[in-house]
Amino acid sequence: MPPSAPTSTSTTRSSTTTPEPGRELIAIGPVETHLIQRTKKDPICAALLDPENFSPRQAAEVASNAIKAGASLVLIGGSTLANQGRLDAVVKAVRNHVARDKSQVPVVLFPGNITGVSRYADAILFSSLLNSTNPYFIIGAQALGSTEVFKAGIESIPMGYLIFGNNTAASFIGQVNSLPPSKPELAVIYSLAAKYLGMRTLYLEAGSGSGEPVSPQTIRAVRKVYDGLLIVGGGITTARAAESAAENGADILVIGNLLQSPGFEGPLREITKSLRKHR
C-alpha cells in the first residue's frame, strides 16, 4: 500500500486566518513530501550512519558510495552519540559530498537523544520511543530538544518509534518494554496509537546489529492499520530480507551495520535492486 499524506488537525490550517510567526502548525515539509512521493513508486533504501563509527571523511565516502549503490536517503544518528561537534562535522561532510555529487538524496537526522540535533541537516525524524519504560524517551528528551530543532529551523517529521528485541544498544539505552516477535497484535496497538496521535511516520526497529529483522507477520499486521510512511530497520543485510519487508508493506528499509563492512556496495546494490518491483 503506497503511503499518502494523512489528513489530520495537525496539518490543517484555517483558510481565513494567518498564524502569527512561530505559531504555524506542523505541516508536511519538502523532505517528507519527497519521501512520500518517492515511495509511491517503489520502496526505498536508507543508509544509516552512526557518527560514533565514522570520521567525517569516512562518513562522506560511505554515504556517497551508498547512494551510488542505490540508497535514496541518508540517516545520521545513533543510540550512544554524545559529541555534538562530531555530529555537526559528520552532517556537514555528508551534505557537502552529496551536493558535489549533485544528488537529490536528503540527509536526515535520526537522533537517539538531545545530542542528535544538527542545524546542517535537511530534516529530523522527531521521534517518540513509544514502548520505552522511561518517560524521558517518550516525551522528556523531545521537550528538551525541541528548542534546538526550532532554532535550527530544520524540517521536523513526526515519528513513532518501536523497538523489538532486548539485546541491542537501542533497546538497552531506550529502556524498552520489548515487543515480542510472536505477538504482532501488540505492535498493531502501538501503531494505531501513533496514527491517532498524528505521527505521520512509524519506525519498526529490530536494533542495530540484530540477528533477526522485524518479522514479516508484524510488518504486514501494522501495514493493515497504519497508512503513513512505514520504516523498517535492524538485521536487514540481504536482498531477501529487504524484499520480504517490502512485500509486506515497508516503505523505507534502513541499512546500518552492513555499511561498516568492506565491499558493502555489492550487497547494498542487490538490496536496492530487489526493491524495484513492489508497488
Cβ–Cβ < 8 Å for 235, 206 = yes
Residues of the chain with pLDDT > 90, as a percent, come to 72
Q: Where are the beta strands (DSSP E) in 99-164?
A: 107-109, 123-129, 155-163
Measure the CA–CA gap between 221 and 184, rounded to whole angstroms: 6
- The whole-number pLDDT of residue 22 equals 53
Report, as an integer, the average pLDDT of 147-152: 95
Q: What confidence tens digit (pLDDT) does each residue in 39-91 have?
A: 999 999 999 999 999 999 999 999 999 999 999 999 999 876 667 889 999 99
Query: In this predicted model, what pLDDT tens digit does every residue of 103-122 receive, in sequence order?
Result: 789 999 999 899 899 999 99
Ranking 6-15, 22-31, 135-144 by mean pLDDT, the lowest is 6-15
Q: With CA atoms as reference, report the closest residue to 160 among 189, 183, 182, 134.
A: 189
Domains plus CATH for the chain? 31-274 (3.20.20.390)
H or E element that contains 33: helix 30-41
Residue 134 has pLDDT above 90, yes or no: yes
Grade residue 171 by pLDDT with cuts at 50, 70 and 90: confident
Confidence band for 99, pLDDT divided at 50, 70 and 90: confident
Closest to 213 in 3D by CA, of 174, 175, 257: 257
pLDDT of the residue at 208: 62
DSSP classification of residue 134: S
- The torsion angles phi and psi of 140, rounded to 5 degrees, stand at -65, -50
Hey, what's the cell of 182?
510472536
* pLDDT value at residue 9: 34
Strand-pairing partners, residue 233, are 205, 254
What CA–CA distance (Å, rounded) separates 192 from 185? 11
